[in-house]
Structure 1
Amino acid sequence: MIPVFDGHNDFLQRVVTGGTGVWLDGDGTGHLDLPRARAGGMIGGFFAIWIPSPQGPNDSAAVALMENPPFAMPLPEQIPFAQALPHAFAQAAALKALERTGTLDIVTTARGIRETVAAGRIAAIMHMEGAEAISDMDALHLWHAAGLRSLGPVWSRPTAYGHGVPFAFPSSPDTGDGLTDAGKTLVRECNSLRIMLDLSHLNEAGFNDVAALSDAPLVASHSCVHSVSESSRNLTDRQLQVIADSRGLVGLNFASSFLREDGRRLPLEGFDTMLRHLDRMLAMLGEDGVALGSDFDGALMPRDLPDAAALPALLAQMEAHGYGEALIRKIASENWINLLERTWGE
């Protein structure tokens, strides 16, 4: 089985709610747990710490709107630091609890990823999606000491550091202002600490600011291609080229509404559209710049890719589409590990 290293999941809140049993044994819900990860050949990934929003894209009213484009949902309000921090602590503690089960290691180096995988455990990167829980650079250093090695300055709402894109279709990602002064300081400090910066959810002006400031490869952990699906969340050809020029990487998001050419929040049928996104990514980024970023437990999955256990079905479709085994292995896991080695420096 070809191993898979996944660029993004939102699983940790399920552990906060249900305990480590939802990982060890599964609870019949969601997209990810240890049995399904094993069945799908998943060797590791980015486990996101994220702050729930009072209103979000999975609410019934939002779902009804997103099923029938065009739509343009307003951005949620910024969440204060004091409100965000307890959620972030609880999810970080949940990841530490998973580590204590002996099935998963929180990894902070590329060497650590390889050692964990060789030992038969899941390699987990502590990622933060939206920096609401980081009050200042001293707090960033504290999170780094706790294991944080990947950070997205925003989710789809503003933070003290920048501005996310709204859920909108059809829409350009050029939807507002760039990074704040604090956001620019955050980029420099992440570079200093070798924390990977994640551009997914960031608007185009913020993307441009990170590209101008950062000395690390540019990364969008879970994004799709705007020329295939005109969602505000997806990356334009220009953005893909900027990432390619930095020797960066994009992980393909499995969310149906970002994949579908019509932008509807309905389960994607078949794999042809996913392969169109991958083909365009490969054309723009090259074979070393394309990976997977599922968004498990955070989005509506395609009908034929309902959870982690179904990952081999996607890889089989890549093979049927004409991708050779060496390329499939790069996309499935090797590109992520190599990118992290270039970013972290070890």
Structure 2
Amino acid sequence: MDLPPLDDLISTARVVALPLVTRFRGIDTREALVFEGPEGWTEFSPFPEYDDAEAASWLAAAIDYGWRAQPAARRDRIPVNATVPAVPAAEVPAVVARFHGCRTAKVKVAERGQTLADDVARVAAVREVMGAAGRIRIDANGGWNVDEAEHAIHALAGFDLEYVEQPCATVEELALLRERVAHLGIPIAADESVRKAADPLLVAMAGAADVLVVKTQPLRGVRRALSIVRDAGLPAAVSSAMDTSIGIAMGAALAAALPELEFDCGLGTASLLAADVTDTPLVPVDGSIPVGRVVPDAAALARAEAAPDRRDWWLARLTRVHAVLAAEPA
């Protein structure tokens, strides 16, 4: 890839720390580094625990979005789902209410320290809020083994699941589980088995999934994600990684460019942030968000500015990961 000089990235880099409304993925604050390229603002926000090699894909995506015009959009708005963290059932109505007009909800399950009974109660509460016409999908983030997943899917099948996302960690487990629950008619979706895999097409070739969940940053940008979806030959749902509105706009560019968009996308997660880099965040309105680049507000950036030690940490990380990309074969 054409790699801009590191100084060009650092010259406009801003590191932000955004508080979450509800604890999610074990964190209360989402940190991100945003910077401006010739095509507009872009985002680099791999989670802190990711090593530099994995983070390199996220930086490649950020550079692609900031330095290259994106593929043509086929639609100007993207239908999105509500995202329900692993909260107690009593908190579900307040969470869903933050996602205006969304007809679909993705519910986190298999949270460490919780039980299947907690998951059932949460999904039941979501069904009650969404009504019979609402769509519910669950996401285990690979937290179950095959037997646990089979048992859980049977326990939750009565809530009319749209699909089950990454119930098990490995492609082999997904393939076995898919065979075991085929009689239930509930599709299996793959997320980590796509974005964290050395070969993101393996899950499709192994017959281990019915749906791909694709995220722009870990897949090195819109173009590569489009290529993966095309080559896999499976329907796709685009999702976020608790990005700022800048990163969500990158995901919306991918969703807008897909030839088909059968599923509502997980791009409404700005609703889970208590602050953002813009005073007009990409939160759902009537169940969708617009397609287009986001320009941060100076005041919002200032309010969200991370502590000096965290800024230093992110800039050091940016420097290392830029070097990883520079060392890749041309």
TM-score by length of 1: 0.47
| Bigger strand share | 2
**Higher relative CO (CA 8 A, sep ≥ 6), structure 1 or 2?**
2
TM-score by length of 2: 0.49
Structure possessing the higher radius of gyration over alpha carbons: 2
